[in-house]
Amino acid sequence: MVSNRSRVLDGVAWIEEHLGEEVSVADVARAAGLSPFHFHRMFAELAGEPPIAYARARRLTSAARALCGTMRPIVSIALDAGFSCQEAFTRAFRRRFATTPAAFRKHGLGPGADLRERLTAGDLRQREEGMPMRPKFVERPAFHVVGMCGWFESGSGPKEIPALWDRFGPRIGDVPNKVEDFACYGVCFGDNSPAPGTEGDFFYLAAAEVKSLRKIPSDMVGKTIPACSYAVFTHRTGLTGLVDAIRWVWGTWLPKSKRRPAPAPDFERYDERFDPAKNKGIIEYWVPLLP
């Protein structure tokens, strides 16, 4: 029997193939093999929004990226996104992003941009299994970390970062002035620029918290994480589903929360509740928020 989740994913796949068109519920439901009425209810329950609202959000997100990533005329982007004219596109764009396409192109993709990422099986599983995780909110003072780092690309980072931890793990004992013996941090600095000769769009640091940044080993780096407010999410299945959970936080929870991310690193925190040998246990994910 085909699951509800699979039906919704079939609809999502059809929407993605027709982002440049104005679609109807009947069109998407047909691709999923259901009546429009039942598909609409199922999609809205699992995805958190009606299918046509999702489709329009994806079209506008695709257009927003085209505005910032190309110099194509706005009218061309509007037509490719399925809008009949630039005026209709501008009205829809302003409703979603609270600015005009021209202003959006000028100022770029800011941290508060209401982008709608493609729904994945992981996103739906989190909703279906109750993983809309409820965060706790924490004020944390500035702290220092020391560890090993690398530049990674968003698409390949989740596959390559474990190798960084494999290098850092045997060296944790070499980090001086540690605050805790069992706690480690995976810190993501997404707003830095790569050093000359490197590739990647974010800087990731596998690290331990330290009392000071003195006596850093020569093959490690030290960073100060600024004081900030955080939403702290508890992920209970170890590395399994961690990437999906992080995507859900940024793609679903954050937009619905109406909170805005602060210009500070986000990070994973691993303590004695996590078993690195089995990659199982509890991982905390800390998201910096503006007041």
Give mean pLDDT in consecutive 10-residue pieces for the chain, a chain of 291 residues. 78 92 89 85 80 92 90 94 92 90 81 74 68 84 96 72 94 94 89 47 90 94 96 89 82 81 93 89 94 88
Cβ–Cβ < 8 Å for 254, 160: no
Closest CA to 170 of 203, 211, 212, 219: 219
Closest CA to 64 of 54, 74, 55: 74
Task: Write down all domains in the chain, each with its CATH number in brackets.
Answer: 4-119 (1.10.10.60), 136-289 (3.20.80.10)
- By DSSP bridging, strand 184-189 and strand 221-225 are unpaired
What share of residues in the chain are helix, strand, coil (percent, to 5)? Answer: 40, 20, 35
pLDDT computed for residue 192 by the predictor: 47
pLDDT computed for residue 110 by the predictor: 56
pLDDT computed for residue 256 by the predictor: 78
- Residue 120 three-state SS: coil
pLDDT computed for residue 227 by the predictor: 97
- By DSSP bridging, strand 136-140 and strand 228-235 are antiparallel
pLDDT computed for residue 177 by the predictor: 93
Phi, psi of 198 (to 5 degrees): -110, 160
pLDDT computed for residue 2 by the predictor: 56
